Amino acid sequence: MNKGLLIVISAPSGGGKGSILKEMFSKDANLVLSVSATTRSPRPGEEHGRHYYFISRDEFQKQIGNGEMLEYTEYCGNFYGTPRAPVEAWLEEGKDVVLEIEVDGGAQIKKKMPDCVSVFILPPSMQVLEKRLRGRGTEEEAMVQERLKTACQELSHVKDYDYVVFNDRLEDAVADVQAILQAEKLKYYRNTNSIERVLKDAETF
């Protein structure tokens, strides 16, 4: 059995990453979503190991020191990060692991796990992105402006990603991400075991 794929998916806020992932997970039983660790307190309804691994600040810093965090960031006084151990266990099992992650984290992962497949979800245009952000209808104008500004900064990181998927129609974007995973699994260097078997076989002819 081949190892699973590590998939980094990033998108600016409003990029539609959530809908794409929801579709992907409903269609592919081999896909698992990595769970982040955080030092913030659980909110009502949040479960340890499902929504987050809730750990202490001391524990988090110890894990950083031991190289046990694939990436991390500090935000509003709390740490957030991706613990390495569960990701590697899933990959060994042949599961494809999705990291839904912002752009700084994406760059850290690519450095530590260069074999990962990174996908940046792009809006078809900034106008569409703006429309989608406003379309939520739940956000104040100042918040929309703030999110747009952040989105623009995030977009500048697209060059660090392997693939780009333009999220115009949801079904097309999902099919694109699925094709990327299917193709990556066909890369020569991911199949050396199966190839070796045929080559060994060929020697006896």
Distances (CA, A) of 84 to 15, 47, 50, 132: 27, 20, 16, 34
Beta carbons of 165 and 120 less than 8 angstroms apart: yes
Comparison of 8 and 37: residue with beta carbon closer to a copy of itself: 8
Q: Which residue of 43, 127, 138, 142 would you call a contact of a copy of itself, by CB under 8 A? A: 127
Q: Parallel, antiparallel, or unpaired: how do β-strands 96-100 and 6-10 relate?
A: parallel
Least Å from the CB of residue 67 to a copy of itself: 28
80 binds a copy of itself (CB under 8 A): no
Dihedral angle computed from the Cα positions of residues 165, 168, 169 and 170, in that order, rounded to the nearest 10 degrees: 50
Q: Which residue of 27, 112, 136, 149 would you call a contact of a copy of itself, by CB under 8 A? A: 149
Kindly report the backbone phi and psi dihedral angles of residue 9, in degrees, each rounded to the nearest multiple of 5, phi listed first: -120, 125
162 binds a copy of itself (CB under 8 A): yes
41 binds a copy of itself (CB under 8 A): no
Q: Which residue of 55, 116, 122, 133 would you call a contact of a copy of itself, by CB under 8 A? A: 122
Least Å from the CB of residue 153 to a copy of itself: 9
170 binds a copy of itself (CB under 8 A): no
Any idea which residue has 């929309």 for tokens?
Answer: 144
54 binds a copy of itself (CB under 8 A): no
Comparison of 64 and 175: residue with beta carbon closer to a copy of itself: 175
Q: Which two tokens stand for residue 185?
A: 């699994």
How crowded is residue 93: how many other Cβ atoms within 10 Å of its Cβ?
13
How many residues of this chain bind a copy of itself (CB under 8 A)? Answer: 44
